[in-house]
Structure 1
Amino acid sequence: MREFHKNKIAIYEYDEWRIIEKAFDEKTNQRSETIFSLGNGYLGIRGNLEEGYSGDPKTSLVGTYINGIYESEPIMYGEYHYGYPLWGQTMINVTDWRLISFWIEDEKFDMLKGSIKDYNRTLDMKNGKLTRELIWRSPKDKEIYVKIERFVSLTNKHLAAIRFMIKPLNFDGEITFISELDGNVKNKNLREQALIVIDKWADERLGYIQQKTNKTEFTIGCSMYNDFYCKEQDIEYSLEKIEEDKKIGIKITFKGEKDQTYILDKYVNFYTSRDVVENEIMNYAKEGVLEAKTAGYDNLYNEHKEYLFKFWEDADIKIKGDIALQQGIRFNSFQLLQSVGRDGITNIGAKGLTGEGYEGHYFWDSEIYVLPFFLYSRPEISKALLMYRYNTLDKARERAREMRSKGALFPWRTINGEEASSYFPASTAQYHIDADITYAIYKYVEATDDFDFLINYGAEIVFETARMWADRGGYIPLKDNKFCINEVTGPDEYKPCVDNNCYTNYMARFNLNYGVYVAELLKAKYPQKYEELKEKINLKEEELVEWKNAADNMYLPYDERLGINPQDDSFLYKEPYDVDSIPVEETPLVTNWHQLNIMRYQICKQADVILLMFLLGDEFDIELKKRNYDFYEPKTTHDSSLSACVFSIIASEIGYKEQAYNYFMQTARMDLDDYNNNAHEGIHTACMAGTWASVVNGFAGMRVYNGELHFKPYLPEKWESYEFRVKYKNRQINVKVEDNLTIYKLLDGDDIVIWHKGNRVELSKMKEVTLS
């Protein structure tokens, strides 16, 4: 197997709950800015230094982002063809709020000037706080202790706060703090500055900036309140407001005394025209920081910590035996929580709220990779992700009409629901996203019994996507009049625009069958709702017959000679290639090989057929899964971060435990150890969710068959135990796997039947069941 973690060096200390940086290095600064990002699903900030950065601008990316707030620019084409998207979408970098600098007389605190000792930067994942602590010796030999904390509130999405503490160690003298809001912000991928400052003001403690996007006309307001005090005694100080063209600030000057601690608490609020009407943004933002000051930093932080405590109770995976992997999986879970939208109008970007890679776009990653993590820990978040798709359904209908198709066609890359990718072979051609969304709806209803969601929202998506498939395919005489779907791209983007991609055809069949099932369910149990929905979307009964016929006659690729599922009609006719012979420096291939060379060989970018073996696992026997794995594993470069976790899961299922573990390691520390050399652009949210799946679906073998939970757990050789919790049908189950033992405990909800290695097990509340 290809191991793309070779020669990677961990730059953070191993710790179960913390990411610890013991030395500041310009060369890895931009990567650390990603790793030390904070967010709450609405607001995200990279781990930029509060005082600013005087190093090479290429080694830093300043970023604060609000989920779903974007700017559009025309997409530039050498040649434009019908159906190409006209406008791109980019999540914008908004007001830079974290700026706090200080001077000791005429010397500005700077990490790259003077000298640093006792340096420590720590991301506390258990409590949701970033802390930087150090002693700085200025060029004129003045020593000062510095401790800076920040958090982005998980209980108030508009709120963030910084506590900046300093203590002179060998001097008395004048010290000046400057706290700023900077509206002069840019995005590296936009040709023009997205935001213009339309209002700003400051008094001696409060400050406010209001900005507006040029094209999309979002208005964003950012307010701050600065509370300065001395820890040991009352202190005299002067306050002065600062106003520049696109910046406002507060200047605090005082006489610093040796061994006295001085503290600046900075409270910040963001509101947008999506949250409140435009002329009320300033009032909400101003009142927000005043309320924060009244509540106080410690109380706000304690509320934030309490939220995290409850989250970890539901979502934590405890590993004994490998501290590096324990750290990795907790980091991944923490960043997923910080990145995911929870309001039904936003989703989760491939890079979360941590960077500008993929321009903040949402992908199918949300439904197939990220949603299951929340479905079995915080199902209400999964529902919110699906509501985003419902709230953009009209955009999907418009795209289907543009593509001369019926029903709805959801976008490959998007923020606002419109397709934003200029390269159709790897975007629009990936029609499977319709089936991925339907599959996620199915899994959500299966796990929650939330039929109200299905009736009022999900069914409409299911019907419109089934319509698309029935129209998109056709009965081909040379394929024995089977229903074929031609000119599509499956998950493997290295094989674009092929006929009968195996993943796509199977998932389309699932979508069509589920459409018929949901229609029959609504007819039988909710007839009035069914009639209302039929009328709303002009659904005809004969369409159900059409869906059933297409599903029953779907062409499902299978090669009798090899006993495998060909990835598509042409894959087996391509020239084989030794993937292991490809030098590491030539990967990923998409940036080092011409696409015609990639397409001509039996080379896969990522899991495709193997992903199908997982998602629709009950349709394939174990021997077929093994043959497919053996065939595709040597042909896969894993140039996509979505790939390794899927191979880990199937390797666990077929008994390839060593490969399962190796692939799991490549998911668990993808960003912490920067396996793909691109962590500086932002985290890999789908890969992070895949870490959870590698344990729960892989090592523990969790599946849902016929509405019941099945487990087939084993313990990786290097571990002493692992433990996690699963929410399912209003129950919560704790699963602990030790050497030769699995312990199940129903923590909440009514009695439930589960299956352990094919054996029926009854669980009653708070009673442990121990099995070999």
Structure 2
Amino acid sequence: MEKRYLEIDEWKIVEKEWNPDNHMKSESIFSIGNGRMGQRANFEENYSGKTLQGSYVAGVYYPDKTKVGWWKNGYPEYFAKVLNSVNWIGMDVKVEGESLDLNTCKVSEFTRELDMQHGLLTRSFEAEFSTGKRIRVEAQRFLSLVADEVGAISYSITPLNFVGTITVVPYLDFDVENHDANWEEKFWAPVEEKVAAQKGTVTAKTKKLDFHVSAAMRFEVYEGGNHITLYPETEKREKFVSNTVDLKVEQGKTYTIYKYAGITSSMNYAVATLSTTADERASTAMRRGYSTLLEEHKNAWLEKWSTADIVIDGDPAAQQAIRFNIFHLFQTFTGVDPRLNIGPKGFTGEKYGGSTYWDTEAYCLPFYLSTTGPEVARNLLIYRYKHLNKAIENAQKLGFTNGAALYPMVTMNGEECHNEWEITFEEIHRNGAIAYAIYNYVRQTLDREYLQEYGFEVLLGISRFWAQRVNWSEAKGKFVMLGVTGPNEYENNINNNFYTNKMAIWTMGYTLEVIEYLKANHADKYEALVAKTNFDESTETAHWSNVIEKIELPFDEKREVYLQQDGFLDKELRSADSLDDSERPINQHWSWDRILRSCFIKQADVLQGLYFFEHEYDLDTLKRNFDFYEPMTVHESSLSPCVHVILASRIGYGEKAYELYLRTSRLDIDDYNREVHEGLHITSMAGTWMSVVQGFGGMKIVDEKLHFEPLLPEGWNSLNFTIRWRDAVLKVTIDGDNFSVENVSEASAEFYFKNEAHTISANSSTSIALSA
């Protein structure tokens, strides 16, 4: 881990000193978003140093032609890229003709601050030019959570030691490129540019797929509380519009530019109305004014925090970290549009591409299930249902038949667009996470209607895939699954991966349960689904039952642990503690061959399975497997530590749980893996929430009942979190002595504390001694 350069503050991320070496990291960490669009923390003014310019619009992507050294049958034709879109924040500043550029000016009094409670990015500094002239800048911006196609900027300039001219150039620039483009190609083609005094619009379309995006700007300037009449020069060129304003300034007076942007896409509007709609958004924003927009935006954030905040007393670093993770989750996905999903970098960078991985179902869904209304999680599941036909097509490309469905590892529209063979063809465990998400949603919400409307068809397609993916081994006398990669991507092309095999038979078993439920409760609908899917129930379910009974799940009788896969014990078993710091992370220092032959685990497969199906195993089984695998785990997947925190909490390993909690929660703030400049790990942030609520808070669901078995870390005076449990909203507080629940809703709720049932009525509270 690099030296920490950000301040510890429970509600803010604060950078107190200008250091260009930290800038690209800060661009990621201080990113803002509102679910509809997002913006890296790039500077408004020109910056000639290292930067990753990034502005992103949800759902808009580009099918970048696949770039591989050796083509294999089944490879996707393209890799879907999250598109860098219009630079709407641009505002060049010149003092007597010299550009304000923090890479060339002398910078002092620099502060950058992300107010997570209110969704607000601010920055202030003093800059000295080569002429000796000095200015102070205070910049503030947000992407409205209320009007989610609007961004607003307040940019104040104070001349400190001169009288003269400051030139300000607000602009919109669509001549942008993706840092991760496969062929160094720009993805946007020009459509239209319009400019007039204090306003402008620019529209571009993707060179493939014909996505259109329009951006409009309006701006005004004030000196103190006085509106300044402007006579700007306008410029229009391909994919670019600007206004140039010369301000006659006096020493010590502050001049504030308010810039408003409206950004619209053809995801939501007809192309013919796109430009005018964007302009309406920008002009309405300016009429309403910066203060009014900001106040509404702040209140919307406070409303989100009211049912999602986690309060940790006694550990400011842990408190800051969990709020940072929750904040970025809500910035990335608000659940209002079932066409959208949660990309691994959200709106903070371009790495990985795609908008959807298995992370959504395995890690993000639990967060949204417990912190928002059920419709948000339902929309995440409907997203997959709408891609079912594409999942069937994906399986057909690999030789599967009869409606077998293989969901993609990486996708924008349901097609697989990842082109590394060990992931595209082998990391098929993603199918199981989608099935598990349906089960997880139904057991928490009791929305069994979902099964007849959408869920059964998805479960059937996935079960059909698993039934065809296994084969009978005469040598073992069991069904086996060959040539897979589990969540641990440091082992490729392995046989009988415990996690993948376990997910396969569990999915088929759960589908059998759903069939019985539908036959008993929705017989007519079930018959219609049988006809629609050409389901041969007796033949297909008989095969599933046979596979469930006779699947190979590797197990070491001596150690009494499940094995990652066949032959795992043939490896030289070493603890990760034996690695020198200079070798870590090993994915940046070792050859791939050496990694694959080592015992070191990027993300534990066995423990992931035991976490999902904890109710099937006793504590001794959890402990034996944890003790065997955790020492070999290097946690070089951002999704790894959170599962270990939960299991460590279950088995009473408080110190280890806390150590790994800090690793997962401060992964990006402290840049553990030295890669945060590429963007944040959004989906692992949901895992951080799981670490606290399911780990230290001990929340789990057993037989559709809510259970708690907390383990408060040493050093924490108390932990407080809020969860939505069906119709109730429960505020849970754990301190050194008591487990307390306050029901702040009109519905009663039942919960279990250490397996003892308790009922809490509406608008009431209860407290139980931890020693009970």
Instruction: Give the structure-1-normalised TM-score.
Output: 0.96
More displaced stretch, 498-507 vs 554-563: 554-563
Distance (whole Å) between structure 2 residues aligned to residue 112 and residue 466 of structure 1: 57
3-state DSSP of counterpart to 1:698: helix
Going from structure 1 to structure 2, the CA distance change for 1:87 and 1:112 (only over 3 Å counts) comes to: closer
Counterpart for residue 715 of structure 2? 718
3-state DSSP of counterpart to 2:500: helix
| CA deviation after TM superposition for structure 1 residue 734, in Å | 1.0
Answer yes or no: is the 8 Å Cα contact 1:745–1:765 preserved in 2.
no
Residues 214-272 of structure 1: CA deviation (Å, up to 9, x unaligned): 12221111111112233333534322211233311011223222333322211112212
- Counterpart AA for 2:222: Y
Counterpart for residue 272 of structure 1? 265
Counterpart for residue 318 of structure 1? 311
Instruction: Give the structure-2-normalised TM-score.
Output: 0.96
Whether 2:158 is the aligned partner of 1:174: answer no
| CA deviation after TM superposition for structure 1 residue 451, in Å | 2.8
Distance (whole Å) between structure 1 residues aligned to residue 226 and residue 292 of structure 2: 22
Whether 2:190 is the aligned partner of 1:197: answer yes
1:764 to 754, 761, 764: 761
Counterpart for residue 456 of structure 1? 453
Counterpart for residue 518 of structure 2? 522
Counterpart for residue 31 of structure 1? 25
Distance (whole Å) between structure 1 residues aligned to residue 323 and residue 102 of structure 2: 29
Distance (whole Å) between structure 1 residues aligned to residue 77 and residue 227 of structure 2: 60
2:73 to 82, 87, 107: 82
Distance (whole Å) between structure 1 residues aligned to residue 493 and residue 163 of structure 2: 71
Distance (whole Å) between structure 2 residues aligned to residue 705 and residue 560 of structure 1: 28
| CA deviation after TM superposition for structure 1 residue 172, in Å | 2.6
Distance (whole Å) between structure 1 residues aligned to residue 88 and residue 572 of structure 2: 55
- Counterpart AA for 2:115: D
Distance (whole Å) between structure 2 residues aligned to residue 590 and residue 20 of structure 1: 30
2:589 to 582, 589, 592: 592
Counterpart for residue 743 of structure 2? 746
Answer yes or no: is the 8 Å Cα contact 2:109–2:126 preserved in 1.
yes
Answer yes or no: is the 8 Å Cα contact 1:68–1:416 preserved in 2.
no
- Counterpart AA for 1:186: E
Counterpart for residue 40 of structure 1? 34
| CA deviation after TM superposition for structure 1 residue 601, in Å | 2.8
Counterpart for residue 556 of structure 1? 553
Counterpart for residue 184 of structure 1? 175
| CA deviation after TM superposition for structure 1 residue 442, in Å | 1.0
| CA deviation after TM superposition for structure 1 residue 587, in Å | 2.9
1:283 to 260, 276, 280: 276
Counterpart for residue 727 of structure 1? 724
More displaced stretch, 722-731 vs 256-265: 256-265
Residues 292-316 of structure 1: CA deviation (Å, up to 9, x unaligned): 1222222222221122111111111
2:109 to 112, 118, 121: 118
Counterpart for residue 365 of structure 1? 359
Distance (whole Å) between structure 2 residues aligned to residue 43 and residue 310 of structure 1: 20
1:194-343 correspondence to structure 2 within 5 Å: 194-340=187-333, 342=335, 343=337
| CA deviation after TM superposition for structure 1 residue 202, in Å | 0.5
RMSD (Å) for aligned C-alpha atoms: 1.7
2:562 to 565, 573, 582: 565
2:436 to 439, 452, 460: 439
Distance (whole Å) between structure 1 residues aligned to residue 186 and residue 9 of structure 2: 41
3-state DSSP of counterpart to 1:85: coil
Distance (whole Å) between structure 2 residues aligned to residue 235 and residue 272 of structure 1: 33
| CA deviation after TM superposition for structure 1 residue 360, in Å | 4.4
Counterpart for residue 11 of structure 1? 5
Counterpart for residue 140 of structure 1? 131
1:502-541 correspondence to structure 2 within 5 Å: 502-541=498-537
More displaced stretch, 102-111 vs 318-327: 102-111
- Counterpart AA for 1:771: I
Distance (whole Å) between structure 2 residues aligned to residue 584 and residue 409 of structure 1: 39
1:553-632 correspondence to structure 2 within 5 Å: 553-632=550-629
Residues 177-218 of structure 1: CA deviation (Å, up to 9, x unaligned): 110011110012212111111211111122111111112221
1:54 to 48, 55, 61: 48
3-state DSSP of counterpart to 1:376: helix
| CA deviation after TM superposition for structure 1 residue 388, in Å | 1.7
2:370 to 369, 376, 379: 376
Distance (whole Å) between structure 1 residues aligned to residue 585 and residue 421 of structure 2: 20
| CA deviation after TM superposition for structure 1 residue 644, in Å | 1.1
- Counterpart AA for 1:372: P
1:101 to 80, 87, 92: 92
Gaps of at least 5 residues in structure 2 are none
Going from structure 1 to structure 2, the CA distance change for 1:285 and 1:31 (only over 3 Å counts) comes to: same
Answer yes or no: is the 8 Å Cα contact 1:351–1:360 preserved in 2.
no
Residues 617-637 of structure 1: CA deviation (Å, up to 9, x unaligned): 011110011110111112111
Counterpart for residue 353 of structure 1? 347
Residues 704-727 of structure 1: CA deviation (Å, up to 9, x unaligned): 000101111122111111100111
2:424 to 414, 417, 427: 427
Counterpart for residue 398 of structure 1? 393
Residues 604-661 of structure 1: CA deviation (Å, up to 9, x unaligned): 1112111111111011110011110111112111111111111111111111111111
Answer yes or no: is the 8 Å Cα contact 1:152–1:161 preserved in 2.
yes
More displaced stretch, 206-215 vs 376-385: 376-385
Going from structure 1 to structure 2, the CA distance change for 1:256 and 1:360 (only over 3 Å counts) comes to: farther
Counterpart for residue 701 of structure 2? 704
- Counterpart AA for 1:577: R
Residues 394-439 of structure 1: CA deviation (Å, up to 9, x unaligned): 1111001111124110011222222122212133311111110010
3-state DSSP of counterpart to 1:309: helix
Distance (whole Å) between structure 1 residues aligned to residue 44 and residue 228 of structure 2: 24
Counterpart for residue 54 of structure 2? 63
Answer yes or no: is the 8 Å Cα contact 1:218–1:274 preserved in 2.
yes
| CA deviation after TM superposition for structure 1 residue 153, in Å | 1.3
Counterpart for residue 73 of structure 1? 64
More displaced stretch, 536-545 vs 186-195: 536-545
3-state DSSP of counterpart to 2:407: coil
Distance (whole Å) between structure 2 residues aligned to residue 602 and residue 110 of structure 1: 49
Distance (whole Å) between structure 2 residues aligned to residue 169 and residue 437 of structure 1: 59
Counterpart for residue 637 of structure 1? 634
Distance (whole Å) between structure 2 residues aligned to residue 527 and residue 252 of structure 1: 71
Distance (whole Å) between structure 2 residues aligned to residue 79 and residue 667 of structure 1: 36
- Counterpart AA for 2:150: L
Counterpart for residue 418 of structure 1? 415
Going from structure 1 to structure 2, the CA distance change for 1:235 and 1:633 (only over 3 Å counts) comes to: closer
- Counterpart AA for 1:88: F
Distance (whole Å) between structure 1 residues aligned to residue 509 and residue 134 of structure 2: 71
Residues 66-103 of structure 1: CA deviation (Å, up to 9, x unaligned): 12211123213333221122211111111111101222
Distance (whole Å) between structure 2 residues aligned to residue 84 and residue 487 of structure 1: 17
Going from structure 1 to structure 2, the CA distance change for 1:187 and 1:756 (only over 3 Å counts) comes to: same
Answer yes or no: is the 8 Å Cα contact 1:411–1:428 preserved in 2.
no
Answer yes or no: is the 8 Å Cα contact 1:710–1:757 preserved in 2.
yes
More displaced stretch, 760-769 vs 653-662: 760-769
2:666 to 665, 669, 690: 669
